[in-house]
Structure 1
């Protein structure tokens, strides 16, 4: 009986927000990665495509937006370009710069990923009503903004 109580009662350590978030984050991360992998995407490729959704972006601007090492971005761009999800071309105004553009196929992949991720969210947060989901998102954004988390992927 006591063993059963211990499994349902949170200790001071397991009730810590960081511990709770780390536990749920591991589960959420695995589900999100698996959902994206079904479409051939990773978190890095998703963030990259997301920044291209509103229009072409210079390669240097992407490095700044994503907060990554240039070589890491080049690897992701090579992968996405190979999949036909984006295109790179030299900037006609400055031949030293590359401009990155999402393709129609990339926009479709991004929209599909959004649907897949919405489904993953529905599974992960089924215990929360819509207002609670909004509140959780706002609170997590507030924490992330205050942390200035740096590298996003």
Structure 2
């Protein structure tokens, strides 16, 4: 039966999850791309090219998101003192606070989406979906 196919089940639930996550991020004034970019910057400053490589997307897409985040005061770009042609991207204190808020909002969204699962089942689902995503070399990161 079609409705028991795993891909169909994931696709249907993915639409619901995607809508809820996008709505939750919009309430924080972010998009999926901007939230993912902030997440990549949480570990510390990186040069813009490294960020592009980490995100695995077209450089123009990253520049657009960085322009948005910089305009909101969530990140800053500074010239690399070792190579003036490169920019270092740094998350600001406002960016750190925003990312913390996003994590809280997404935790609440996860709680709502997966309320039917026990904590152990949620952990198992996360491990399995991560395994599938890691094995899919064509998976879009951004």
Shorter-normalised TM-score: what interval?
over 0.9
1:60 correspondence with 2:49: yes
Q: Please list every run of at least 4 consecutive aligned residues from structure 1 whose deviation after the TM superposition is greater than 4 angstroms.
A: none
**What displacement does 1:137 show?**
0.1
Greater CA drift, 140-149 or 103-112 = 140-149
**What displacement does 1:54 show?**
1.1
CA–CA separation in structure 1 for the residues paired with 2:137 and 2:47: 23
CA–CA separation in structure 2 for the residues paired with 1:61 and 1:71: 14
Give the root-mean-square deviation of aligned CA atoms: 0.7
1:120 correspondence with 2:125: no
1:133 correspondence with 2:125: no
CA–CA separation in structure 2 for the residues paired with 1:33 and 1:50: 15
In the alignment, structure 1 segments of 5+ residues that lack a partner are 1-11
Residues 28-107 of structure 1 mapped to structure 2, 5 A cutoff:
28-107=17-96
CA–CA separation in structure 1 for the residues paired with 2:43 and 2:34: 16
Instruction: Give the match's secondary structure for 2:3.
Output: coil
**What displacement does 1:148 show?**
2.1
TM-score by length of 2: 0.98
**What displacement does 1:150 show?**
4.4
* Match in the other structure for 1:18: 7
**What displacement does 1:43 show?**
0.7
CA–CA separation in structure 2 for the residues paired with 1:28 and 1:16: 18
Which string of whole-angstrom CA distances, capped at 9 and with x for unpartnered residues, describes residues 66-107 of structure 1?
A: 011000000000000000000001101001111000000000
- Structure whose CA Rg is larger: 1
Distance change in 2, residues 1:111/1:84 (3 Å): same
In the alignment, structure 2 segments of 5+ residues that lack a partner are none
Q: How many residues align?
A: 142
